[in-house]
Chain A
Amino acid sequence: MTAVTVDDAHGHGHPEMTLRQFINTYVFSKDHKIIGLQFLFTTLLWFLVGGLLALGIRWQLAFPWQSVPVIGNLLFAAEGGQMSPEFYTTLFTMHATVMIFFVIIPILAGAFGNYLIPLMIGADDMAFPTLNMLSYWFMWPAFFCIIMSFLNPPYGAGAGWTSYPPLSSVSEAAPGSASAQTWWLLAVTLVGVSSMMGSVNYMTTILQMRAPGLTMFRLPLTIWAMFITAILQAFALPVLTAAGFMQIFDRMAGSGFFVPEGLVINNADAESGGGQPLLWQHLFWFYSHPAVYIMILPAMGMVSDILACFARKPIFGYKPMVYSISGIAGLGFIVWGHHMFVSGMNPMLGLTFMVATMMIALPSAVKVFNWLGTIWGGDIKFTTPMLFALSFVSMFVIGGLSGIFMAATPVDIFIHDTYFIVAHFHYVLFSGTAMAVFGSIYFWFPKMFGRKMNETAGKWHFFLTFMFLNGTFFLMHILGAVGFPRRLADPYHYATFKHLLPMNQFITYCAIGMVASQVIFAANFFYSIFKGPKVGRNPWNANGLEWMAPSPPGHGNFDFQPIVYRGPYEYNSPEVETDFYPQTQPPPDGVEPAADEAH
């Protein structure tokens, strides 16, 4: 890697920049930072879309068959503004698809992975910049396909984000859905192509391009998490891609991978057969269960970095943290069957998946205890990123513990496909990952834009989101305990669930509040890009390599050759006077270069 004289070499904001230069710098850029920001902006936009789709679901559950405000009369004029049950199925299908494939996975790996990996390992860029650029641009055909799927007249894909056949693979099962499901499959497959390009790149970069002195056990936990996530992606994704093509063939080419013999749907012959619907579930969850960890591990890594920085203490149990990430990833490959306990899979097989699933709670527990250990005896600074990181720990405990209920196969018989599971994965994915993402945006924003976000607005954003998310998701556990099923447009005609309407209305009010609170974030984000107070290289007094680069870093990242002397968590080290000890700072005279710490 060569040292680049950054301030002159790159062309940011030069008035004489030609259109061609502009396009090469900001649009088809091969710079990992621009690609990271492209991912960030697009995924945040999709986050808004996914949130609004969720409000549509919440509206129907709180006020079933009542006229939908604002858009009701536009979309459903013939029905007096009330949403159709078909539209409801499309809503929850799209909400999940957008949030999983277009928000969480790309915002973690695409946005933060891209932006942070080279900076945190002291590299000037990714190993394969062109491939990196392609990984972003392959998202756009996916966007096109998912929009085609959603806007397909008269209604879009409605087989759930799990796309279980035969509902998804035999078009007669969803009359009028035409090719919506085919578009959906193409969209997910294309996202997979993008993720795969990213994974290959991240693995190579982390293995090959670390700065001198940066051994694997001196890597920040964010990078460890990104590295292991990339491995998970690379090994699990091909299965989903293959399964996606098999289902496309079932839909378009008359094959019958997932269609059983002699199927008659809606009085129409399915025309193919000999397949097995459960095969899809196995293939789908073989990817989509590891994907759950793809959606949480990077968040765990980033939270660890934020916690250490604002507790002003080294991470408690660094190596156990690394091992538990690896443990989660390893076990993550053999627990997919816990999505299928009541699917009709052999109950004996269910038992083995149950034991593996129980054991995967162990590394998660170890991580929680180590986070608590990190905070213990620290010098805690309640900044906005710290509040989000702390709430991640607090909320992840809930999401982790509720998982044990589902892992227990007999209990799962009752709570499977109820709101208990909806509560569980929203605690992991929203209260966990999304809160970690917010925290990370506040934390690394100064590096990305050279300016800081407003702290007061940030804390209001945190407080309101925290309150409303608990109001929204916590009560879903109670709904689940009653057996309230998910994916029902109108559950209230069942006598068992009739009396749950008021609780659902409360949840909907909280959900509206939660989405509305994000206005504070959006305003703060865009205002701060242009008008936020300017900051230097290291506004948080952190240790990581990324904080040694200019803010924002120019093309090539570092204006010096970083040489690493220690891990990134040496806060309040007795070796120096300051409470932080950057990785690149040479040890003071007379101090032996520290051997890698025992833990």
Chain B
Amino acid sequence: MGRLWSLLFLTVPILGVAIFVLAMIPGGVFDDHWLPVNINEHGQIIDDLFMFILYLTGVIFIGTGILLFWFLWKYDTETRTEPVKYTHGSHTLEIIWSILPAATLLFIAIYQMDAWASHKMVPPVDDHGDPKPALVEVTGRQFEWRLRYAGRDGELYTKDDIFTVNDLHVPVNEQVVIVVKSQDVLHSFFLPNMRIKQDVIPGMKQKVWFQANQVGQYDLVCAELCGWGHYKMRGRLWVDSADDFAKWLEQAEQEQNSTEIASASQE
């Protein structure tokens, strides 16, 4: 029986690797079961880091899995041939297997710092080296995303701001800065295709930034539990060409003006 049990433990690295490989390669049973398409210029660095850690941990996973199997196979009480190795350990081995992982982990820790900084600590600047102004302010509230675009003057919190809900339009191939905040409870501003996630906190304003490189329609997900309707707090991200974006903004402005006039005339 010992041999069968050893083989059961061997299936762990085999099936584990097989599932990841099936998910990674296009086509097959797990088609499209991998990182969603990345459309952010800053996103690739995260995907690369993910894959780097995956390969590194994969090697350790396979190595320890095979060692475990081999020891069980070889030292099974029913079939073993060698006498028991009565030992309390090895100082040399302990040092080796402390220093090697420590160095590896420290390397990962330092290696990733740039990616983190570029995502969270170094907002884009304009031609003069000043922080690039935000294009839109996104406010989470139960259970929708309220958007406030800087109007013609390119500045937020002025009279010509444009207000919309849930449909986040951004221009392609341009650094976009977004201010995110919350009106009520915690939410999380999650753009899977941009590799962007930022919890929004009532009482705090934060910035996220990205540069989309592909037009299309994508999901804006709320990723922090915000109440019973959390699941339906869905927004849409539209990456438009520069022209389309300008057109959409203009149209939104007109719609807003006409409703304002309409409501003003009703009063």
Bound state CA distance, A261 and B188, in angstroms? 20
Whether B85 lies near A376 (C-beta < 8 A) is yes
Whether B186 lies near A277 (C-beta < 8 A) is yes
- Tell which of A184-192, A194-202, A345-353, A541-549 binds the partner: A345-353
Whether A380 touches B2, Cβ cut-off 8 Å, given contacts A397-B65, A411-B50, A481-B35, is yes
Whether A410 lies near B49 (C-beta < 8 A) is yes
Bound state CA distance, A160 and B226, in angstroms? 10
Whether B64 lies near A358 (C-beta < 8 A) is no
- Tell which of A143-151, A224-232, A365-373, A513-521 binds the partner: A365-373
Chain B residue nearest in CB terms to A356: B109
- When each residue 115-128 of chain B gets 1 if its CB lies under 8 Å from chain A and 0 otherwise, what string results? 11101110000000
Contacts of A405 in B (CB 8 A): 50, 53-54, 57
- When each residue 391-409 of chain A gets 1 if its CB lies under 8 Å from chain B and 0 otherwise, what string results? 1011101100110110011
Q: How large is the interface on B (under 10, 10 to 19, 20 to 34, 35 or more residues)?
A: 35 or more
Whether A416 touches B94, Cβ cut-off 8 Å, given contacts A313-B85, A379-B77, A410-B116, is no
- When each residue 90-113 of chain B gets 1 if its CB lies under 8 Å from chain A and 0 otherwise, what string results? 110110011001100110110011
Whether A397 touches B61, Cβ cut-off 8 Å, given contacts A344-B200, A409-B112, A478-B33, is yes
- When each residue 476-515 of chain A gets 1 if its CB lies under 8 Å from chain B and 0 otherwise, what string results? 0111011101011111011110011001000000000000
User: Is A164's beta carbon under 8 Å from chain B?
Assistant: yes
Bound state CA distance, A151 and B12, in angstroms? 41
B165 to chain A minimum Cβ distance, whole angstroms, is 16
Whether A86 lies near B228 (C-beta < 8 A) is yes
Whether A598 lies near B88 (C-beta < 8 A) is yes
- Cβ-neighbour of B219 out of A261, A366, A495, A574 (below 8 A): A495
- When each residue 219-233 of chain B gets 1 if its CB lies under 8 Å from chain A and 0 otherwise, what string results? 101011111111110
- When each residue 555-569 of chain A gets 1 if its CB lies under 8 Å from chain B and 0 otherwise, what string results? 000000000000000
User: Is A246's beta carbon under 8 Å from chain B?
Assistant: no
Bound state CA distance, A278 and B203, in angstroms? 10
Contacts of B91 in A (CB 8 A): 598-599
Whether A375 lies near B75 (C-beta < 8 A) is yes
Whether B192 lies near A351 (C-beta < 8 A) is no
Whether A404 lies near B108 (C-beta < 8 A) is yes
- Cβ-neighbour of A343 out of B19, B71, B184, B199 (below 8 A): B199
Chain B residue nearest in CB terms to A484: B192
A344 to chain B minimum Cβ distance, whole angstroms, is 5
Whether A166 lies near B68 (C-beta < 8 A) is no
- Tell which of A40-48, A262-270, A289-297, A444-452 binds the partner: A262-270
Bound state CA distance, A478 and B119, in angstroms? 24
Chain A residues numbered 319-344 whose CB sits less than 8 Å from any CB in chain B: 319-320, 342-344
Whether A478 lies near B75 (C-beta < 8 A) is no
Whether A167 touches B112, Cβ cut-off 8 Å, given contacts A173-B227, A499-B32, is no
User: Is B157's beta carbon under 8 Å from chain A?
Assistant: no
Whether A265 lies near B8 (C-beta < 8 A) is no
Chain A residues numbered 242-292 whose CB sits less than 8 Å from any CB in chain B: 260-261, 263-266, 276-278
Chain A residue nearest in CB terms to B33: A478
Chain B residue nearest in CB terms to A276: B203
User: Is B248's beta carbon under 8 Å from chain A?
Assistant: no
- Cβ-neighbour of B199 out of A342, A351, A500 (below 8 A): A342
Whether B46 lies near A381 (C-beta < 8 A) is no
Whether A394 lies near B121 (C-beta < 8 A) is no
Chain A residue nearest in CB terms to B181: A344
Whether B223 lies near A410 (C-beta < 8 A) is no
A59 to chain B minimum Cβ distance, whole angstroms, is 15
A228 to chain B minimum Cβ distance, whole angstroms, is 19
Whether A173 lies near B184 (C-beta < 8 A) is yes
Whether A261 lies near B203 (C-beta < 8 A) is yes
Contacts of B109 in A (CB 8 A): 354-355, 358-359
Whether A474 touches B68, Cβ cut-off 8 Å, given contacts A347-B121, A382-B1, A597-B88, is no
Bound state CA distance, A264 and B228, in angstroms? 17
Contacts of B190 in A (CB 8 A): 417, 483, 485
Contacts of B54 in A (CB 8 A): 405
- When each residue 7-46 of chain B gets 1 if its CB lies under 8 Å from chain A and 0 otherwise, what string results? 0110010011001100100000010111110000000011
Most buried by A among B12, B45, B87: B87
19 pairs across A/B with beta carbons < 8 Å?
A89-B228, A167-B225, A260-B202, A317-B89, A354-B112, A354-B116, A366-B101, A382-B1, A390-B72, A395-B12, A404-B56, A410-B119, A416-B223, A463-B8, A481-B33, A481-B35, A493-B232, A503-B30, A599-B89
Q: Which residues of A contact B (CB under 8 A)?
A: 84-86, 88-89, 158-160, 164-167, 170, 173-174, 260-261, 263-266, 276-278, 311-320, 342-344, 347-348, 350-351, 354-355, 358-359, 361-362, 365-366, 368-370, 372-373, 375-382, 387, 390-391, 393-395, 397-398, 401-402, 404-405, 408-411, 413-418, 463, 466, 470, 474-475, 477-479, 481-483, 485, 487-491, 493-496, 499-500, 503, 571-574, 579, 597-599
> Lowest 6 CB-CB distances: which A-B pairs, in order?
A260-B203, A377-B85, A599-B89, A317-B89, A347-B120, A410-B115
